[in-house]
Amino acid sequence: MSAQGGDPPTVSVSIRMVAGEEQRAEELAGQLDGALIRICRTSAETEAAAWQPWTRRATHHLVLDAAVRPHPRLLAQVHAAVAGRPAAALRFFTPGDGYVSHASRVAAFSGRPWVVPPGPDASSVATVLPVPEAARLARSVEVGDGTPEGVLLHRFAAERGLDLLASTADLVQIDRPGSYSPATAFLPSAVAPEEWWQREPLPSSPSIPVVHLRDGEPLSYEAVPGTPDGWRLRPRRDVPTPHARRFARLMHELLLGTEVARSHLRAAAVLLGVAGVLRDQLLLASTRGRPSDAFGTAVAREAAATLALGTLAETVPAVGRPDGAAELRDAFQTLYDEMAGILHASPREPEHGGDP
């Protein structure tokens, strides 16, 4: 049953591919055996083809890129998500190297399954819409426009008054040779309980701590009313930080001894800056909630693990090596565990006005 009652949803799938991805598309279709599937070749002249519903048997329409690795329970989880949010547009992939990923991390650290994406985002890798809305979107796509489909989707949702939500738990991972766009929190060995998808989304904060993709600099991604896309990068805003000394000590102990920190002239400073962004995101999340079960905790830990991996590939070369990536995954998950433990422990008064 859906959250609104009535019959459970039925999801059709369009797998969109470009030239050269024919085998990938067939393999993906095989992994979704039993689903209502159509493979669509896309080009500048057929941009809308994948969004066009093609069967009357479906209530919702899912568009997938051919070059993805799906969660083993992808369709079951999509059905559960749609049952909880039947009238919304739902996205199940957020690239870990984009500014929207940081809003997703704050939501994950708050224990939420959904976030309202801040501003337009180019990604539309795995998106499901109610069938009538998918048909309207297909009709609205102009041939040869060239605007990324994720941006078109954001505009369409705003014009239609349609809720657009991004899942904090990614259900696919990009798997295209030469492409480095890891998901923010892809957990192929974990399955969300059905009630997870029915929890409330986290609205976008007007100021989100982020990492600049080119130089690793901590910044703020801020809502600016009256601008075309509504968001701008600004210098980092100070976040009131309880336990500042304990956090600083943790960051130095866990990061400065890593091989990645020693690998590059600026690596240590950059890693400490990114750890500061993690701290600020956790502080922001702590005012909104926290993970309350094992799955929510797993999503939050994975989101923390990808923070440096998704944002430092251009800044610190060692991050792109398997050994460097593994080292930072472990370090940032440990940072998350320790920082969250400090924040969620019973508060106590600092002695003589000192930092607790």
The answer to whether residues 282 and 261 belong to one domain is yes
Tell whether 24 is covered by a domain: yes
Tell whether 216 is covered by a domain: yes
The answer to whether residues 80 and 170 belong to one domain is yes
Please give the tally of structural domains in the chain: 2
The whole-number pLDDT of residue 3 equals 47
The answer to whether residues 27 and 152 belong to one domain is yes
Q: What is the pLDDT of residues 235-259, one digit of tens each?
A: 998 777 889 999 999 999 999 999 9
Q: In a 3-state reduction of DSSP, which class is residue 207?
A: strand
Residue 60 per-residue DSSP state: E
The whole-number pLDDT of residue 353 equals 39
CATH number, domain of 75, equals: 3.90.550.10
The whole-number pLDDT of residue 182 equals 84
Residue 140 per-residue DSSP state: H
Tell whether 164 is covered by a domain: yes
* This prediction's pTM: 0.92
pLDDT along the chain (356 residues), means of 10: 66 92 94 91 75 95 95 96 97 92 97 93 90 94 75 92 97 76 92 96 93 90 84 86 92 96 93 96 94 97 94 89 94 97 68 40
Determine the distance from the C-alpha atom of residue 318 to the mean position of all C-alpha atoms in its chain, rounded to a whole number.
23
Tell whether 6 is covered by a domain: no
The answer to whether residues 307 and 342 belong to one domain is yes
Asked if 107 contacts 94 with a C-beta cutoff of 8 angstroms, the reply is no
The answer to whether residues 123 and 230 belong to one domain is no
The whole-number pLDDT of residue 143 equals 62
Domain-terminating residue out of 177, 198, 219: 198
The answer to whether residues 107 and 166 belong to one domain is yes
The answer to whether residues 114 and 178 belong to one domain is yes
Domain-terminating residue out of 145, 167, 198: 198
The answer to whether residues 145 and 237 belong to one domain is no
The answer to whether residues 60 and 97 belong to one domain is yes
Tell whether 4 is covered by a domain: no
The answer to whether residues 320 and 341 belong to one domain is yes
Asked if 108 contacts 202 with a C-beta cutoff of 8 angstroms, the reply is no
The answer to whether residues 251 and 152 belong to one domain is no
The whole-number pLDDT of residue 354 equals 41
The sheet with strand 207-211 has its strands ordered as 207-211, 218-223, 231-235
325-349 core/surface letters (b: 16 or more CB in 10 A; e: else):
bebbbebbbbbbebbbebbeeeeee
The answer to whether residues 83 and 187 belong to one domain is yes
Tell whether 300 is covered by a domain: yes
Average pLDDT, the chain: 89
Domain-terminating residue out of 163, 198, 233: 198
Q: What is the pLDDT of residues 305-330, one digit of tens each?
A: 999 998 898 889 999 899 999 999 99
Tell whether 249 is covered by a domain: yes
The whole-number pLDDT of residue 180 equals 57
Tell whether 5 is covered by a domain: no
The closest alpha carbon to 100, from 149, 147, 165, belongs to: 165
Structural domain for 77, as ranges:
11-198
Q: Residue 71, CB half-sphere, CA atoms under 13 Å: how many? A: 22
